[in-house]
Amino acid sequence: MVNSTATEHEIQADEQDDELVVKVWVKELSFMQLQQAIKSFVTLSADGGVDIDLAAYWKYMFAEAIEKTEPRLTIPQMLSLRPFIANQIIALLPQPQDLMADPLADGATE
């Protein structure tokens, strides 16, 4: 019911060198953490507009879902990674469209 163990992943750190890797431990987030993730990147305005800030979402996910890395990277360092590495990391994390679609789909059937 509650998964508190992070899963280790190895990602390629250099396009030219398959042996150069970064280890990333990703933990499964709780229901409430996922709800907070939505709150971190979606803003509803009084006139019904929706503002989506994907940078805020990934910042939240890097801080909450990544337990540790090897070599050790701080959150600011992770946010500054080259796209080659960052894209591999975000592929391991819950995607924003999945968070938005699932609650809406569930609510539509009730």
Q: What is the pLDDT of residues 27-45, one digit of tens each?
A: 999 888 888 888 888 888 8
The pLDDT confidence band at residue 10, using thresholds 50, 70 and 90, is very high
Q: What is the DSSP string of 66-98?
A: EEEEES---HHHHHTS-HHHHHHHHTTSPPHHH
pLDDT at 107 over 50: no
pLDDT at 110 over 50: no
Q: What is the C-alpha radius of gyration for the chain, rounded to an integer number of angstroms?
A: 16
Q: What's at 100, amino acid-wise? A: M
CB 33 within 8 A of CB 63: no
The pLDDT confidence band at residue 109, using thresholds 50, 70 and 90, is very low
How many other CB atoms are there within 10 angstroms of residue 24's CB atom?
25
- Supply the pTM of this predicted model: 0.80
For the chain, the structural domain boundaries read: 7-105
Compute the CA torsion angle 96, 77, 18, 6 (nearest 10 deg): -60
Q: Which residues contact 30 (CB under 8 A, 6 or more apart)?
A: 2
Q: What's at 96, amino acid-wise? A: P
Confidence at residue 15, expressed as pLDDT on a 0 to 100 scale = 93
pLDDT tens column, 41-100: 888 888 888 888 999 999 999 999 999 999 999 999 999 999 999 999 999 999 988 877
